[in-house]
Amino acid sequence: MSEILKEVLKHISTKSDISYTGFEGANIVLYTKNTDFFLDNGGVIKKIVDDIKKRVELRPDPSVCMEMEKAEEEIKKLIPSEAGVGEITFDPQRSMVIIEAEKPGLAIGKSGEVLKEIKQKTFWVPLVKRKPAIRSKLIENIRKVLYENNDYRRKFLDNIGKRIYDGWIRDKKHEWVRVTVLGAGRQVGRSCFLLQTPESRILLDCGIDVAGTNSNAYPFLDAPEFKIEELDAIILTHSHLDHCGLVPYLYKMGYKGPLYCTLPTRDISALLSLDMISVSQKEANKSIYSSADIREMVKHTVTLDYEEVADITPDIRLTFYNAGHTLGSAMAHLHIGNGLHNLLYCGDMNFEVSNLLGSAVTRFPRLETFMIESTYGGKDDTPPSRKECEDELVKKIKETIEKKGKVLMPVLGVGRSQEIMLILEKSIRSKVLPNIPIYVQGMVWDVTAIHTTYPDFFNNTVKKAIFHKDQNPFLSKVFKHVGSQKEMQEVLEGGPCVILATSGMMVAGASIEYFKALAENSKNSLILTCYQGPGSLGRRLESGEKVIKFSEKETINVKMEVNTIHGFSGHSSRTQLMNFVKRLDPKPKKGIIIHGESSKCLDLASSIHKQLRIETSAPKNLESIRIR
């Protein structure tokens, strides 16, 4: 038995009848057959937590839990009908019951009274989750994968704990910390970084370059430093393909370790990966992984909330902080060694309160080195304010509608599209725009459904509208779901409207189909709101190309108006990046500048060094930096 489990059991009387002790990742879990001890442990568990500074949870042994059918009846009696209880799912391996409710607060009760009653009457540990306002088949499938693999998950999480606490009492080795750039070094796309210590190997993101060719679309996983069999964990900061797109491939290649991310990141990453397979099939290309590999990814995911501290290896502790970039996006704060070094990997971040999300966090317990993006880090990257962009967007849509035309907005499936939806809904509700239909293409709709599942990740304004006023903007009748070719044709044959369709760079998906149908009519307009990668169709149109050749037989003469509005980006502007670094507390000693075109990485690195007196570097792909 692990030394730490022996330490825990020292505090517990044999009368407590502990039937099993084990791990769930970094958490220690005790199961008891003594129902009195389960309901009231007299502060014993709190004392253990205070002593060992680790999370400890007490659960009833499955043998003492009420029969599931009877427990479900009892739960339905105890929870007020106004709570809108939906699915009730039992997890017998962990003695837990997951209760979906439209109004979780009512299901929990004041000071948790309803949950206490459920525990007392059924001897199950209740966990309340918000019922999605829009049904998501994907979320249902993800939960099914997790519940169907309960036994595997229990052993898997126990093994993570054994690995973490294997080094709980261990002689210190010579300590060092090293980061190798496997992707996104002086480029946007295929973010992937290998963090190494004498004890651990951690991968930070593993994405693809969606605008790249086969030869440069993927991270350098053939680098000598990277050995998949030595990998301890993957940390995924958010669900955009240039950060998450290759993660399922790692499971295909035999990786069986944990993937750490937030709940929305897990769900949306799975959706985008499935969509990538679908796009490959439509284009008659072979996908590099299958849906079975995505299921493996989901099965091995460990989700963390913002500011939840979790040990992930014997010498690395992870905490996620809000990055403000997209739903569930996180900056990964890594406490390495026993106070040896603290690294902040920012992923993609936005230092501004957007229509949907709060701003990136700047205060941390400790900080020596940060890794920051430079997508818009060049001296000339000074976009207009969000308010100016909103006004410009509404103006362009109005002009097109007045001409009886259609507006095509290629959007990222995640984040940008949902923010645009909020702006359009608000403009129509306040009668700034006429009551026109907003057509939402398949995957954008699926991602929006996931957004309605996790409103706790929104900024305070949107949360208040949903929780206190019962006004969920995503449920507005102005939004129309387009789910088939027939419906798409009806949109094209119909009257003035706005169309939100992926992909945002126009490299695949419905946005290209809509473009082909609308481009040769001068009444229509195209509005680009996200970053357009070099070589993408979006970049070519942004640059003013008027003749687009898709094949020998298909050439499009672009007559529609093409507009670019940069201020809706989920990325920080140059000024915001500088302000973010300036406000980092405590002030770091080193900065690593990544995820930007070469000139922007170098420019931002130089400016941070000169103005803020912080040592900086802008490494190329395959370079390694020793940070301690």
3-state SS, one letter per residue, for 531-555: CCCCCCHHHHHHCCCCEEECCCCCE
What's the pLDDT score for residue 442? Answer: 66
| Dihedral angle over CA of 587, 588, 591, 595, nearest 10 | -70
Quick check: 332 and 421 in contact, CB under 8 A? no
What's the pLDDT score for residue 33? Answer: 97
Query: What's the mean per-residue pLDDT of the chain?
Result: 92
Q: Give the helix/strand (H/E) hosting 297.
A: helix 291-299
By three-state DSSP, how is residue 31 classified?
strand
3-state SS, one letter per residue, for 347-365: CCCCCCCCCCCCCCCCECC
What is the rounded CA–CA span in Å between residue 240 and residue 413? 9
Query: Phi, psi at residue 260, to the nearest 5°?
Result: -100, 130
383 DSSP 8-state letter:
P
CB burial readout 463-494, b (16+ within 10 A) else e: eebbbeeeebbbebebbbbbeeeeebeebeee
CB burial readout 166-175, b (16+ within 10 A) else e: ebeeeeeeee
What's the pLDDT score for residue 209? Answer: 92
Q: Is 283 exposed, middle or buried (0-12, 13-18, 19+ CB in 10 A)?
A: exposed
Query: How is residue 585 written in tokens?
Result: 């507390």
| Dihedral angle over CA of 250, 251, 257, 259, nearest 10 | 70
Q: What interhelical angle do 263-282 and 291-299 show, nearest 10? A: 170
By three-state DSSP, how is residue 30 classified?
strand
What is the rounded CA–CA span in Å between residue 617 and residue 445? 40
102 C-beta neighbours (distance < 10 Å), count: 15
Query: How is residue 263 written in tokens?
Result: 């709940």
What's the pLDDT score for residue 161? Answer: 94
Is the alpha carbon torsion for 293, 296, 300, 303 positive or negative? Answer: positive
By three-state DSSP, how is residue 424 classified?
helix
Q: What pairing do the DSSP bridges indicate for beta strands 201-206 and 192-196? A: antiparallel
- Token match 């902080």: residue? 321
Query: How is residue 229 written in tokens?
Result: 């069999």
Region of 252 (left: φ > 0; alpha: ψ -120 to 50; beta: rest) is alpha
Q: What is the DSSP string of 73-132?
A: HHHHHHS-GGG-EEEEEEETTTTEEEEEESSHHHHH-GGGHHHHHHHHHH--EEEEEEPP
User: Global pTM?
Assistant: 0.90
The pLDDT tens digits of the residues spanning 435-468 come to 999 999 867 888 888 888 898 999 999 988 888 7
Closest CA to 185 of 627, 628, 625, 589: 625
What's the pLDDT score for residue 221? Answer: 97
What is the rounded CA–CA span in Å between residue 353 and residue 459? 8
Rg of the chain (C-alpha set) = 25
- Residues of the chain falling short of pLDDT 50: 169
What is the rounded CA–CA span in Å between residue 505 and residue 503? 6
What is the rounded CA–CA span in Å between residue 232 and residue 250? 12
Closest CA to 79 of 64, 53, 101: 101
Q: Give the helix/strand (H/E) hosting 8.
A: helix 3-9
Where do the H-state alpha helices sit in 356-480? 386-402, 416-429, 442-453, 460-467
| Dihedral angle over CA of 316, 318, 323, 329, nearest 10 | 110
What's the pLDDT score for residue 308? Answer: 96
Q: Domains plus CATH for the chain?
A: 1-62+141-167 (3.30.300.230), 65-131 (3.30.300.20), 175-284+300-379+571-626 (3.60.15.10), 386-564 (3.40.50.10890)
339 C-beta neighbours (distance < 10 Å), count: 8
What's the pLDDT score for residue 14? Answer: 86
474 DSSP 8-state letter:
G
Quick check: 155 and 601 in contact, CB under 8 A? no
Closest CA to 568 of 394, 370, 309: 394
What's the pLDDT score for residue 172? Answer: 61
